[in-house]
Amino acid sequence: MSTKLRILVPVKRVIDSAVRPRVNKAQTGVETQGVKFSMNPFCDIALEEALRLRENNKASSLVESIHAVSAGPSKAQEVLRAALAKGADESTLIDTGSTDVEPLGVAKMLKKIIDEQKSNLVILGKQAIDNDSNQTGQILAGLLNWPQATNASKVEVDEQAGKVTVTREIDGGVETVAAPLPMIITTDLRLNEPRYASLPNIMKAKKKPLKVVKPDDLGADIASRLEILKVSEPPVRQAGEIVESTDELISRLKKAGAV
């Protein structure tokens, strides 16, 4: 029996990775006014992997659908349009307004979307570069009681057996694990190189489905469990010195007791 893939790819809108975030004056978060936002780089890799699974298995039509989903403000529609332009078939925005929902809440909403979409493979980024939590994929796998393979650097699907083999980046090297579908995969940087969307595809993406729902429509409990009491700047390092020669460098290090 062969298993077709119905892939769900959650994508997050975050401050662009090239921007150095600044803590706001009120110390409640970082400055977002006039700051460039983009798709979280790890989500981009997750989407790319879904697209490659489809392209590399065209003959067997392994991939039945690729659905992109984002939870965030209405502006997160932009990252969904970008996902559609790259090749996702359809998308859902869970409009959470200005609330930044915690990973547990996001995972609960994703679970509802998975039920609705009948997804059997979810590919997520390993972490969002804003909150750096590295949790959503694992929590989602726990809620669903599905197997999980995090930090993937290689993904292979055996269609006949309905089994996925994943090479994972671990401390000290890599390991390979295998699990039957349905399963959860989170992506590491090394998995692939995401593509750019072409202009014609960006135009076409405007006509692809983008459904907007509210958290209430999904009936998931997304109440915050954590309170951010304060967001502060990390301690600033003392200005350093430029030394003129390797000899000077060594003597300075010796004086400091560093060598």
Partner 1 sequence: MLSTLLKRGRPFATMRPLRGLSTLAVVENAGSAPTPGSLSAITAASQLGEGNSITALVAGSNAKEVAERVSKVAGVSKVLTAVNGNYDRNLPENLATLIAENVKKHGFSHVLAPASGFGKNVLPRAGALLDVQPISDITAVESENTFVRPIYAGNALATTKSNDPIKLVSVRSSAFAQAAEDAQAAAAIEDAVDPDSPLLSEFVSEELTKSERPDLGTAQKVVSGGRGLKDKENFDKVIYPFADALGAAVGASRAAVDSGFADNSLQVGQTGKVVAPELYVAVGISGAIQHLAGMKDSKTIVAINKDPEAPIFQVADLGLVQDLFQAVPELTEKLK
Contact positions with partner 1 (CB under 8 A) in 221-250: 224-234, 237-238, 240-243, 245-247, 249-250
Q: Residue 189 or residue 213: which is nearer to partner 1 going by CB?
A: 189
How far is it, in rounded angstroms, from Cα 60 to Cα 237? 57
Contact between 141 and partner 1 (CB under 8 A)? yes
Residue linked to tokens 């965030």:
72
What is the C-alpha to C-alpha distance for residues 223 and 221, in angstroms, rounded to an integer?
6
Site residues (CB under 8 A) for partner 1, limited to 69-128: 102-105, 107, 126-127
3-state secondary structure (DSSP) of residue 257? coil
Report which of 120, 140, 7, 11 is spatially closest to residue 67, judged by C-alpha positions: 7
Residue 76 or residue 124: which is nearer to partner 1 going by CB? 124
Indicate the burial class of 20 (C-beta count within 10 angstroms; 0-12, 13-18, 19 or more). exposed
* Residue of 38, 40, 135, 192 that binds partner 1 (CB under 8 A): 135
x/- track of binding to partner 1 for residues 31-60 (CB under 8 A): -----------x------------------
Which CB sits closer to partner 1, 200 or 234?
Answer: 234
Query: Token pair for residue 43?
Result: 């989500």
Residue from the set 170, 203, 209, 211 that interacts with partner 1 by CB under 8 A: 170
CA-CA distance, 254 to 259, in Å (whole number)? 5
In this complex, which beta carbon is closest to partner 1, that of residue 177 or of residue 202?
177
Give the CA angle between residues 147, 125, 185 to the nearest 5°: 20
Kindly state whether residue 171 participates in binding partner 1, applying the rule CB under 8 A. Answer: yes
